[in-house]
Amino acid sequence: MWKSKDIYYISDSTGVLAINLGQSLICQFPEINFHEEKFPFIKTAAEAQSTLEYILQRSSGRLPIIFSTLVEPKIRNIFDHPQVELFDVCEVFLGRLENCLEAKALMMPGFARQLDDVSMARRVEAINYCLSHDDGTKLDEYNEADVLILGVSRAGKTPVSVYLSSNMGLKAANYPLTNSELDRYFLPEDVSRNRKKAVGLTTSPELLSSMRQKRYPNSNYARRSACIQELEQAKQIFLKYNIPVIDTAGKSIEEIAAQISQEIGLYKKSNQLR
C-alpha cells in the first residue's frame, strides 16, 4: 500500500468538478497522505505538455494520479502517459452518454458554466439580497426570500446564506435566535409568516462553545452550559413552528446547502462551476 500519493486536478475550465470528484474518492483512503495540486484553464496542447512535464518531474516516477475534466481529446490524450494514472471524466462518461442520447456532444470546454445576462443578473441580485438581509435585518422584506435560515449565534447561518446566494442564485436571509426569542419560545411575525421556507441550523454544544470561545474567550456566552441551553431552546422553537432542522456538526457548507435545498424543495437557479 502506498503511504503517500501525488494527486493532480486538470481542467480546461475552473477545475471545480475535477477537484470535487477526486476529493470525494480519495477521502475513502484516510490512511494515505495525499499531496494535491490543481491546474485549471488548460486550453492548448503546449500548456498540457508543460503541465505534464512538471507533473513527471515533480512526482519522479511515483505514478501520480490525475483527475481530468478536459474536453478536447487531443489535449486530453497528452496526459494519457504510462507514468501517470489518468482518471478522465469526459472519456468515461461523454462517450457513453452520446450513445444513450444518440447525439454528439458539443465538446466545448466549460460550456455549461457560461452564464447569460439574465442568469448573471439573478445571481448578483441574490448576493445583494443576502448581504442586505444578514443577521436579522429588513424583516419586512422576508417575503422576497427564497430561503430563511434560523439559528443561535455562531451556528453557521451567514456562510451558508452567502453560499446559497453566490453559488445557487438563491435569495437567502438569516435570522439570529437571541434571548428575546429563546426565552419566550417565540418568532416575530415576519419570520413566522415565512416559516414554510425556513430551515433551522443546530450543532453540538462542544462545537458551538469552541466557535464562541474564538470570538469571546472565557465568556458566559461561550460556556458549554449556555450553549446547551440555547440549542435546546432553539430546538423547541423549531418544533413549535414546524421548521425542519439541519445539524451542521462535521458538515461542509456545500453539504448543508444541499440539505437545505432538499428540505424545502428548492432547485438550483444557476449551474455549479465545472
**CA 84, 85, 87, 90: dihedral to nearest 10 degrees?**
40
**3-class DSSP state of 8:** strand
For residues 102 and 128, membership in a common domain is answered with no
Specify whether the CB–CB gap between 175 and 219 falls below 8 A: no
For residues 171 and 232, membership in a common domain is answered with yes
Q: Which CATH number does the domain housing residue 15 bear?
A: 3.40.50
* Predicted local distance difference test score (pLDDT) of residue 120: 74
Distance CA 211, CA 230 (A): 14
Give the N- to C-terminal CA distance of the chain in Å, as an integer: 32
475513502: which residue's cell? 28
* Predicted local distance difference test score (pLDDT) of residue 52: 97
Q: How many domains does the chain have?
A: 2
**Domain end marker among 80, 112, 144:** 112
Distance CA 89, CA 69 (A): 5
For residues 95 and 167, membership in a common domain is answered with no
pTM of the model: 0.66
* Predicted local distance difference test score (pLDDT) of residue 69: 92
Q: Is residue 274, in this structure, part of any structural domain at all?
A: no
For residues 258 and 123, membership in a common domain is answered with yes
**3-class DSSP state of 88:** strand
Q: Mind listing the pLDDT tens digit for each residue in 84-98?
A: 999 998 877 887 888
For residues 254 and 128, membership in a common domain is answered with yes
Distance CA 12, CA 30 (A): 29
For residues 95 and 127, membership in a common domain is answered with no
For residues 151 and 241, membership in a common domain is answered with yes
Q: Is residue 65, in this structure, part of any structural domain at all?
A: yes
**Domain end marker among 57, 86, 112:** 112
Q: Is residue 271, in this structure, part of any structural domain at all?
A: no
For residues 126 and 108, membership in a common domain is answered with no
For residues 85 and 142, membership in a common domain is answered with no
Q: What residues in the chain have per-residue pLDDT under 50? A: 112, 268-274
Q: Which range marks the domain in which residue 177 is found? A: 117-263
List all residues 6 or more positions away from 56 whose beta carbon is below 8 Å from its beta carbon. 81, 83, 84
Q: How many CB atoms sit inside 10 A of residue 200's CB?
A: 25
Q: Specify the pairing of strand 4-10 against strand 33-39.
A: parallel
DSSP 271: P
Burial (CB count <10 Å: 0-12, 13-18, 19+), residue 263: middle
* Predicted local distance difference test score (pLDDT) of residue 274: 39
For residues 198 and 147, membership in a common domain is answered with yes
Specify whether the CB–CB gap between 6 and 35 falls below 8 A: yes
* Predicted local distance difference test score (pLDDT) of residue 14: 81
Strands of 115-222, DSSP E: 147-151, 172-176, 198-202
Taking Cα atoms as reference points, which of 99, 67, 100, 98 lies closest to residue 84? 67
For residues 31 and 53, membership in a common domain is answered with yes
Q: Is residue 269, in this structure, part of any structural domain at all?
A: no
